[in-house]
Amino acid sequence: MPHSLIDSAHHIVLIAHQNPDADSLGAASAFYSYLLRTHKKVTLFCASSEVNPNLAFLPWFDKLTDRFPEDADCMISFDCGSYGRLGIEKELPLINVDHHVSNDFFGTHNLINTSAISTTEVVYDFFVANSIKINGKMALSLYAGLIDDSKCFSASQCTAKTFALAHSLIELGAEHALCVEWLYHRRSLASLRIQGVLLKQMKLLIDGRLAVFDVPLSLLEETGAGLAECKRVLDDALGMHCVQAAIMQIEHPKGGAKLSMRTDGTIDASKIMGSFGGGGHVQRAGMRLKQENFTELVENMMMMIKKEFE
Per-residue x/- marks for Mn ion, 151-190, CB under 5 A? Answer: ----------------------------------------
Cβ proximity of 172 and 135 under 8 Å: yes
Q: Exactly one of 149, 229, 268, 308 binds Mn ion (CB under 5 A); which one?
A: 149
Closest separation in Å from C-beta 1 to Mn ion: 23
Q: Exactly one of 15, 23, 225, 230 binds Mn ion (CB under 5 A); which one?
A: 23
Which residue's CB is nearer to Mn ion, number 33 or number 118?
A: 118
Closest separation in Å from C-beta 121 to Mn ion: 9
Closest separation in Å from C-beta 87 to Mn ion: 16
Which residue's CB is nearer to Mn ion, number 157 or number 298?
A: 157
# chain residues binding Mn ion, by CB under 5 A: 4
Stretch that binds Mn ion, among 21-29, 54-62, 63-71, 176-184 (CB under 5 A): 21-29
Q: Which residue is nearest to Mn ion (CB)?
A: 23
Which residue's CB is nearer to Mn ion, number 102 or number 294?
A: 102
Which residue's CB is nearer to Mn ion, number 72 or number 144?
A: 144
Which residue's CB is nearer to Mn ion, number 80 or number 194?
A: 80
Per-residue x/- marks for Mn ion, 65-104, CB under 5 A? Answer: --------------x-------------------------
Contacts of 123 (CB under 8 A, 6+ apart): 27, 30, 31, 78, 97, 142
Stretch that binds Mn ion, among 16-24, 28-36, 55-63, 125-133 (CB under 5 A): 16-24
Quickly list DSSP for the chain: -HHHHHHH-SEEEEEEPSS--HHHHHHHHHHHHHHHHTT-EEEEEES-SS--GGGTTSTTGGG-BSSPPTT--EEEEES-SSGGGG-----S-EEEEE--TT----SSEEEE-TTSSSHHHHHHHHHHHTT----HHHHHHHHHHHHHHTTTTTSTT--HHHHHHHHHHHHTT--HHHHHIIIII---HHHHHHHHHHHHH-EEETTTTEEEEEE-HHHHHHH---HHHHHHHHHHHHTSTT--EEEEEEE-TTSSEEEEEEE-SSS-HHHHHHHTT-EE-SSEEEEEE-SS--HHHHHHHHHHHHHHH-
Which residue's CB is nearer to Mn ion, number 79 or number 268?
A: 79
Is residue 121 near Mn ion by the rule CB under 5 A?
no
Closest separation in Å from C-beta 274 to Mn ion: 16
Interface residues with Mn ion (CB under 5 A) are 23, 79, 119, 149
